[in-house]
Structure 1
Amino acid sequence: MEQTIAVLGAGTMGHGIAQLLAQSGSRVYLYDPSEEALERAMQKIRSNVAVIRSERWGDCPSEDQVLDRIVCTPDPVEAVAGASIVIEAAPEKLELKRELYRLIERGIRADAIVASNTSSYVPEQLVEGMTFAHRFVVAHFFNPAHLVPLVEIVLHPQTSRQTAEPLIRLLKTCGKSPVVLSANVAGFIANRLQAALLREAVHLLESGVASAREIDLAVTEGPGLRWALSGPLATADYGGLDVWERVSDRLFPELDTRTEASESIRRLVRGQRLGVKSGGGFFEYPDGEANGATHGLPDGVQDAVEQRDRKLIRLMMVKNDTRTGGGAQ
């Protein structure tokens, strides 16, 4: 039986989540207050599916088949009315998310699971006082949501693992790798690890140790390749914990310990150098827009994003062919 899912928000993450679910056979109601955002989302989904099919990754339906399973609506109550699972992917603003929950609270099914794609708010903050708190989880996808397998799951204190199981099963059916946290912690798992690496990378850049390109190259041509097959703990096992004991004792006192964003990042932000979407950040993206690409990416940047996605698909195809479970190869 076809499952009906609601996705609230058609932006960067929402359209990817909607695509993922539709590809896997679900009926998806995609809500956004902006008709323009909905139109743009459908265009991106069509393009994304075309890339996947051209790479022959999995048994992906045609563009028309995927789009036919998605119903766009500017009405949040219509979106959630028949949904067994509701996934909120609104911008990362607490009051905006809470207002959206208030709008749908009376319209959701009594047994519906409600999930938020938040990357920073804990469940208690999001649904304080809401009647569906006992059916609420954080389901943190990673960009691009239709490709990256990881989804971090954080249960509301009133939500049991059993209650969340239909969502976890759905994610596995879609090819995702859900990781259920045993405790709430700011930033969850992946963003804490990414933040730690970024902090040290910026410190090395500011210290003049190497250029931005060389620092990135040191990751992509070294640890990054290993991390695609085994995480930091398994990598330590393979290297020898006695070795890492000595490395830790020697290096930990030398690592950056700042407790706020670096001046390098603040200076770039003040200068509106926000990365790909503005045309420049640590690196240059000459086809970007100086004021930020709020209405979709320029052609040149979109081409770069597509090439990144193709490489990611190919990497995952190789990874799935070679991995045997457990640690590294």
Structure 2
Amino acid sequence: MIERITIIGSGVMGSNIALSFAVNGYSVIVNDIKEEFLVKAKGRMIENLSILLDEGELNEESVQTALANISYSVHLDEAAREADFIIEAIPEKIELKWGLFQKLEALMKPDTIVASNTSTFPISRLMEKASFADRMIITHFFNPAHIVPLVEIVRHRETKVEVVEEIVSLIRRIGKEPILLKKEISGFIANRLQTALMREAFYLLKEGAATARDIDTAITAGPGFRWAFTGPIEIADFGGLDTWQSVFENVARELDQSTGAPEVIRDLVRENKLGTKTGQGIYPYDECSVSEKLNERDRLLIKLRRVKK
């Protein structure tokens, strides 16, 4: 039975994954390599809890309970020693993950389940230098992790069936919607679909088909409006498979077929225009507007989640 949870990595994903468990009554230790990272994570979680409070998702008592459920440590041995379930949410560098897993082998209990939040590496790659594949799993949360319901779950070929069942049950208990991949596939499901869409969006931007804002609006006011409740396969059924056969035959050959990052993105990265983190990407940002936009996004997602329930 999973009771004590450790999140290793206190960035945006790690801190919000911790919040997902804490608001649902689980004891969580958040671990990182520097105290300053943990201080920043705590501030982020307090701000996110205040939004949940304002939106009526939590009351004052449940906010305080969630905060009390979270502790912090820069000592990996302390964080891992009694954990029933450990989620790794450190940077996407395979050497860092290998090093962490090797350390965990000597620190954690023999029955501790370990998960990675990776969106990049197949689980077989993660386990190349560790020997606990039978209790290893990927739990891929989506940003903002304390709001977005989806969690993609990927098992190793050696992962015990009971481990998979326990984690799927746990993810459901914290109000998430897990999907279990039936095979190991690069990018999993959601990021493959998202990447295909974004490749075409940036191609249209490069070709001057429309402004960036109008391309975004084409999704938020069109397909994205429906996708919140109806997925692409069901949409094909609703529209008629004969109709979609014609759409594919008429449009598919015209779509971008590139296999690398879009030219627009590569150019901006070379100029260190990385988006909100640097104040300039496709759109300009200042520090105040980024915070306001993130909070507005979270409030809208909370409302959408409430409707979907």
Pair 1:12 & 2:12 matched: yes
Match in the other structure for 2:307: 318
Match in the other structure for 1:295: none
Query: Which amino acid in the other structure matches residue 317 of structure 1?
Result: R
Query: Which amino acid in the other structure matches residue 221 of structure 1?
Result: A
Measured in 2, the distance between the counterparts of 1:96 and 1:60 equals: 38
Pair 1:109 & 2:109 matched: yes
Q: 1:31 to 1:12 in 2, by over 3 A?
A: same
Match in the other structure for 2:189: 189
More helix per residue: 2
- Aligned to 2:28, what secondary structure does the other structure show? strand
Query: Which amino acid in the other structure matches residue 272 of structure 1?
Result: N
Measured in 1, the distance between the counterparts of 2:14 and 2:104 equals: 17
Q: 1:34 to 1:261 in 2, by over 3 A?
A: same
- Aligned to 1:175, what secondary structure does the other structure show? coil
2:98–2:129 CA contact under 8 A, matched in 1 = no
- Aligned to 1:62, what secondary structure does the other structure show? helix
**1:75-112 CA deviation, whole Å, 9 max, x = no partner?**
11111111111100001110011111111111111111
- What is the Cα deviation at residue 62 of structure 1? 3.5
- What is the Cα deviation at residue 60 of structure 1? 8.1
- What is the Cα deviation at residue 59 of structure 1? 6.8
Measured in 2, the distance between the counterparts of 1:139 and 1:152 equals: 6
- Aligned to 2:152, what secondary structure does the other structure show? strand
**1:148-206 CA deviation, whole Å, 9 max, x = no partner?**
10010010110033222222111101110011000011100000001000010111111
Match in the other structure for 1:248: 248
Measured in 2, the distance between the counterparts of 1:215 and 1:170 equals: 38
Structure 1: which 5+ residue stretches go unaligned? 288-297, 321-329
State TM-score, norm by structure 1: 0.91
Measured in 2, the distance between the counterparts of 1:139 and 1:2 equals: 15
Pair 1:28 & 2:17 matched: no
- What is the Cα deviation at residue 132 of structure 1? 1.1
- Aligned to 2:277, what secondary structure does the other structure show? helix
2:2–2:84 CA contact under 8 A, matched in 1 = no
Match in the other structure for 1:290: none
Query: Which amino acid in the other structure matches residue 195 of structure 2?
Result: A
Measured in 2, the distance between the counterparts of 1:306 and 1:176 equals: 21
Runs (4 or more) in structure 1 with deviation over 6 Å come to none
- Aligned to 1:6, what secondary structure does the other structure show? strand
1:2–1:27 CA contact under 8 A, matched in 2 = no
Query: Which amino acid in the other structure matches residue 197 of structure 2?
Result: L
**1:102-147 CA deviation, whole Å, 9 max, x = no partner?**
1111111111110000001011111224121110011111001111
1:2–1:25 CA contact under 8 A, matched in 2 = no
* Percent identity of equivalent pairs: 44
- What is the Cα deviation at residue 217 of structure 1? 0.3
**Aligned with 1:300 (options 255, 270, 289):** 289
Paired residues, number: 309
